[in-house]
Amino acid sequence: MKELLEKIWQSALAAIESGNDAESLRIRFLGKKGELTAVLRGMGALSPEERPKMGQLVNEMREKIENAIAEKAAKEKEEALKNKLLSEKIDVTLPGNDLSVGHRHPIAETEKMMRDIFIGMGFSVVEGPEVEYDYYNFEALNLPKNHPARDTQDTFYITDNILLRSQTSPVQVRAMENSKPPIRIISPGRVYRADPADATHSPIFHQCEGLVVDKGITMGDLKGVLELFAKKMFGEDTRIRFRPHHFPFTEPSAEVDVSCWECGGKGCRLCKGEGWIEILGAGMVHPFVLSNCGIDPNVYSGFAFGMGIERVALCRFGIDDLRLLYENDVRFLEQF
């Protein structure tokens, strides 16, 4: 029996050593079905003199094992705490997690630059509806039904008289109807045309239109405003050039080029060897348009200009396909 107790003690030590957890050790050696309890049960077979001696031995062994297990449990607890402290340690000197910060889309960025430049010159920003009456988009702008110039601005019709605006110029008309000169506005916004999408066309794009109406406004004012805009937008050395053109709503009309900011006008790949890049249409507001909007052309005059925001964005950021701007592939957009 003594040997049996010794054997139990040895196997308890080995079990404790080999890392069994305290709870399962307690069950294995001291539990109701444990090894020591089995010894106690076997004591019935002993003689009455031997029984108390053995009982004492068993109790001593129980105490020894209990102590060893308790020690083991204490060690386990300490270890767990140490690990917890280690794993939950906060090093306040470590740099924080990087939050990735987004930025404006190239179109929004370009539009904002335009807004800022014109606001700086005293313009206010006015917006108008994208679903527009034929009257505001065409008729009031001196483009009566069947006018051939409507062809270049074919758009999407909702009814015969309601369409998706093909230009931001209808905002001019609304502004003139709703306010008295002096008027000094820009109207950035989305426009639509029935053009299939390719590298330079999109059925939806953005324009920024400008309008100034007051007494004594001349083409000189138009030139001055556009020159300042071009310098702010494309760099201080930028020059502008007016080429005669035709728009039904302005007279005279011009297409406006800026000197190439890449080569300074010498001719390069960006300007296709021209030295100039066309960016906008402009002119003096046609007297018919003024009177259509209730402004007396004998008293007031004005100028207007309009440009495509995408066109400027493509040139500025050196992007060669318009469609890239609408695909919203973050890998592309992140570059700007």
Residues of the shown chain interacting with ligand PHE in the complex, contacts defined by CB under 6 A: 167, 169, 209, 247, 250, 281-283, 304-306
User: Distances in Å between the alpha carbon of 97 and those of 44, 88, 161?
Assistant: 70, 17, 56
Nearest approach, Cβ of 283 to ligand PHE (angstroms)? Answer: 5
How far is residue 69's CA from residue 19's CA, in Å, rounded to a whole number? 11
Using the minimum distance from each CB to ligand PHE, give the nearer residue, 234 or 249: 249
How far is residue 310's CA from residue 200's CA, in Å, rounded to a whole number? 9
Using the minimum distance from each CB to ligand PHE, give the nearer residue, 69 or 171: 171
How far is residue 10's CA from residue 4's CA, in Å, rounded to a whole number? 10
* Sign of CA pseudo-dihedral 152, 301, 180, 145: negative
- Alpha-carbon 255 to chain mean position: 34
Burial label for 303, CB within 10 Å (0-12, 13-18, 19+), is buried
How far is residue 13's CA from residue 29's CA, in Å, rounded to a whole number? 11
Instruction: Give the pairing of strands 240-247 and 204-214.
Output: unpaired
Nearest approach, Cβ of 278 to ligand PHE (angstroms)? Answer: 11
Nearest approach, Cβ of 159 to ligand PHE (angstroms)? Answer: 22
Nearest approach, Cβ of 333 to ligand PHE (angstroms)? Answer: 26
The residue sitting closest to ligand PHE, measured at its beta carbon, is: 306
Nearest approach, Cβ of 193 to ligand PHE (angstroms)? Answer: 9
Using the minimum distance from each CB to ligand PHE, give the nearer residue, 252 or 267: 252
Nearest approach, Cβ of 303 to ligand PHE (angstroms)? Answer: 8
Using the minimum distance from each CB to ligand PHE, give the nearer residue, 142 or 238: 142
Instruction: Give the pairing of strands 183-192 and 124-125.
Output: parallel
How far is residue 259's CA from residue 277's CA, in Å, rounded to a whole number? 6
Using the minimum distance from each CB to ligand PHE, give the nearer residue, 69 or 186: 186
